[in-house]
Amino acid sequence: MDIIWDEITYGLPDIGHLAHVIIRLMAASLLGAAVGAQRESVGKSAGLRTHILVCLGTCLFIIACSGAGMSSDGLSRVIQGVITGIGFIGAGSILKLSEEKDIRGLTTAAGIWMTAAIGVAVGLGSLGVALLSTFFILIILSLTVFLENWHKKMRTVKVEETKTE
């Protein structure tokens, strides 16, 4: 029976370590959800589920590798691989539309990339850095929507003034 339990709990030698892993995975899920909820609220295709999965997945890679006793050099290579993989996901969210300068999805791709970075930070145990980064991302994404809308209004007003002259 002990052999079976050891196989099931491989990488979780005691309750303290289990709690440690649960806290990190929950933190990654919640922080990814915060970014995803913001993206979904403005109607973007990569929303809540995508950001939760990216953040949780990157966190899991880090926790699993460090829990298996991987060296910092090996962990560095895992992080590089995760970043490369996230680049492919981000590239898939970028669309070049028919118009010459109409490219969409760059902010979504950057958001996915940042969410992965948050997951890495949480996986490494830097919860404070991850929390602060999430806060900054939410502020930036929210403020830029207002600034972009204001800028569009100002351009519309200038165009209308030019037409009336």
Phi-psi region of 85 (alpha: psi -120 to 50; beta: other; left: phi over 0): alpha
DSSP string, 75-136: HHHHHHHHHHHHHHHHHHT-EE-SSTT-EE-HHHHHHHHHHHHHHHHHHTT-HHHHHHHHHH
What is the reported pTM? 0.80
- How many domains are contained in the chain? 1
116, pLDDT greater than 80: yes
What token pair was written down for 75? 């962990």
pLDDT at 119: 97
**How many other CB atoms are there within 10 angstroms of residue 94's CB atom?**
14
Angle at 51 between CA 48 and CA 54, to 5 degrees: 145
By residue range, what is the domain housing residue 7? 2-164
32/149: higher pLDDT: 32
Model confidence band, residue 98 (pLDDT cutoffs 50, 70, 90): low
